[in-house]
Amino acid sequence: MTSKGLTDSHTISQLYSDHHDWLLHWIERKVSCRLQAEDHAHDTFVRVIASKQAPNLKEPRAFLTTIAKGLLIDHWRRSDIEQAYLERITAYPEEIAISPEENVIILEVLREIDELLNQLPAKVRQAFFLAHFEDLTDAEIAQKLGVSDRMVRKYVAQAMLQCLSAEF
CA 101 – CA 168 distance, rounded (Å): 15
Structure confidence at residue 79 (pLDDT): 84
What pLDDT sits at residue 91?
73
Taking alpha carbons only, the member of 119, 34, 35 closest to residue 74 is 119
pLDDT at 1: 46
**What was the pLDDT predicted at 152?**
95
- Please report how many Cα atoms fall inside a 13 Å half-sphere around the Cα of residue 43, on the Cβ side: 16
The pLDDT score that the predictor gives to residue 83 is: 82
From residue 1, alpha-carbon distances to 60, 68, 78 in Å are 9, 19, 33
| Per-residue pLDDT tens listing for the chain (168 residues) | 444 444 566 677 888 899 999 999 999 999 988 999 999 999 998 888 887 655 557 888 999 999 999 999 888 888 888 887 777 777 777 777 778 888 888 888 888 888 888 889 989 999 998 898 788 899 999 999 999 999 999 999 999 998 888 765
DSSP state of 53: S
